[in-house]
Structure 1
Amino acid sequence: MAGMTALVAAAFLVPLGSTLGDRARDEALADAARRAALVTGTLAVSTDVAVVARAVEATGGDPATRPVVHGLGGDPGGRAAQSDVARAGADRRSVVVEVPGGLARLDPVVLGDQVAVVEVFVPDATTGGGPRTWLLLCGVAVALVVAAVIVVDRVAARAADAARGLVRAALAVGDGDLEVRVEPTGPRELAEVGAAFNRMADRLVVSRTDERELVADLSHRLRTPLTVLRLDAESLDSDDTSVGSFSEDELDRRRSIRRIRQAIATLEGEVDVLIKTTRKAVAHDTGPAMCDVSEVVRDRMVFWAALAGDQNRPHRVTGAQLRIPAPVPRAELAAALDAVIGNVFRYTPQGTAFEVAVSRRDGYVAVRIDDAGPGIANPDRALRRGASDQGSTGLGLDIARRVALQANGSVSIDRARLGGASVVMLLADPEATPRQVNRFGLVGRMARERDTGTRRRWPRSRSAED
């Protein structure tokens, strides 16, 4: 880069130096012609040596450069050769000849039958051909090269920093970190590339989140037909082949029933894993989110109502007419509702009524799922992850508890007005400030349970005859 800048400077400064030298030479010769004209005018009037001497002195300047008159007798001195002086007189025209130390201008003057020649010496220092001019131009060239190197270095450093930042960000995205962004800096082109990179990363985040939400939504939709299949499979005959004697056809039929039930159980487990995985990924990608609790409840009940109709289960939804926000992603709240409502269908007999209610007060949103079944004998055990008295994985209520904790709430199990279990999910209301409430009320009890980690037990175990 420095060599290129030096070549460009030389390409401009060498012609500039020549031009300046020519101009200085022309100006110096013009000044010499002016001084020579003062003397030639005097000679045209008088050839008296004294008069001519006064005219020479009147030209001023350095005595070494004052005009010299040849042809008036004697040796006037001067720097021009006699041959050049004779040639100027013979040709009777002004000439400029080179002499040691500079140039000499020779102007002939016709004085009757003789010709006088006026010589004016022009030193090299006044013609621009001296070393000072070229030293000055060389200094300018060096200054231009240094300035160009500094400017280009700064510009190149900014461009290099911006390019390195883009490389690091691209490698981070390639490694799976979609949160990385770059500061659009450097030249305009690199700044535009940085802005385009940020838009691309934002789009990747949105696309991945949409994809995972779609998978989670599809998984939720699979719960209802799977529950129907499981219930229909449970209504089939026993698959026990260890007691009694059976024909070959009966053994095959019972084995087929066992395989069907095992396949449905395996598929349910896979769907549960898929839902948990996708909802965790969506929560990690999107961070804090908001949803309309009423809308989620209405949407999920569209699916569960169809199954409830097949099983002759009376059901109703209350309090889900108005918008009620909650600080939890929609997919996670839907998963929690599916887990709790699915438990109602799994562990209560067909025809058992259930109710889903939404309420909003005291800075909290409560989602309550009641049923008319036999209830839960040990609420604490039911809320522990992986624990169940029904032979299941025990993850259903744990999903609801984790969603409630994410929304700064809690989950409680109590006796329902319908006679069975009442699962209440308490979520913080983002549009209201929680306040101190009656310590004996529902919200106060749930707040205490959230702080202490305790859960209320049933006052007594509920038997099947109750």
Structure 2
Amino acid sequence: MRRWLALLVAATTSLVLIALLVPMALLIRDVAENGALSRATVAAESVSVAVGTPDLALAVAQVARPVTVFLPDGRTIGAPATRSDAVRLAATGRSVTAAAPGGSEVLVSAQSSGGTAVIRVLVPDDELMRGVREAWLALLVLGLALVVLGIVLADRLALAVTRPVDGLARVSHRLAGGDLSARAELGGPPEVRSVAMALNHLAGRIDELLVAERESVADLSHRLRTPLTGLRLDAESLRDPEEAARMQARVDALQRAVSTVITEARRRSAGRESCDAAAVVRERVRFWSVLAEDQGREVEVVLPPAPLPVAVGAEELAACVDALLGNVFAHTPEGASMAVRLTPHEEGALLAVEDAGPGIDPALLERGNSGGGSTGLGLDIARRTAESSGGTLVVSSPPGGGARVEIVLSAP
């Protein structure tokens, strides 16, 4: 917007200046020409007074410019010049100004006892344009200065409009990223302030809805506890031990599923968490290294020496790492090497898990599908972890074979 406003002001100012400065430049040229011709006319009239007197030659010599006097008898006094049509026209008793080679000639007629004499004064082009080019240059500099000044003022005005808009965009991105405490500053034009007030109202409303959701989740956990306890007591009261054990297992599975749903809802309602990815990955790799050693797997670990914060909770990131490493152990033969690399990324952090197994089946990229009898949710857990932080997940096959899973985690 700033650039377009600057271009608009530059074009408008240029058109206005052209409409004003071009006529002014022409006027300056005309004034300069008229001044030079007027001075030449005065010189010619001063000579015309001496026509018919013995002092004519002296009067011509005293004029500091080329002067020629055409006498009625055909003789000329002063600078040599041809008797042009304009001279013959002036000999009829009229004063004439005409173009001549190298400038303009001013012809003034003077009556004498022998007839009409014509005094010719040549005005060179340099004198006609004296001071005009300097005035034009000054007008050009003035016009450019005004255009630059208009662009600077337009940029300042555009900045007063675009800065609050950029602030609104940053606040909206923060809200989209889970920072519900972000609020827009009320500044700029009235329309922008109105949008900022609406955005702040929306953020407040979202915060209120999330508070209500957290309360609903808390109520749900209490409401489900009683019927689950009743189901457990009913299962324990069954006379058939096998049926009681089967029902007890189903009640336990239902309780775990409900607890998982409530935990997920609470985590979403609580807003975005953060953790040190290096510490979490280091701890989970240490946990899985025991099993890797038993299976004879070579494990390459690359971790940054300094903390690497990411916009994911420690428990969620640990579950993601466990899912990826669990896939390696579940879908590759014993002894296959693996690598875990955590490096800084322009968006936050890059977590890469590679293995030297047979590669990954494209069907595993769909939720719930597995080629090894598992639930098929490992990659889906990793994908949801990446997306919850604002990152991405990419699965590829390295040139040497195997599989490579890369997760980009955004910074908090």
TM-score by length of 2: 0.45
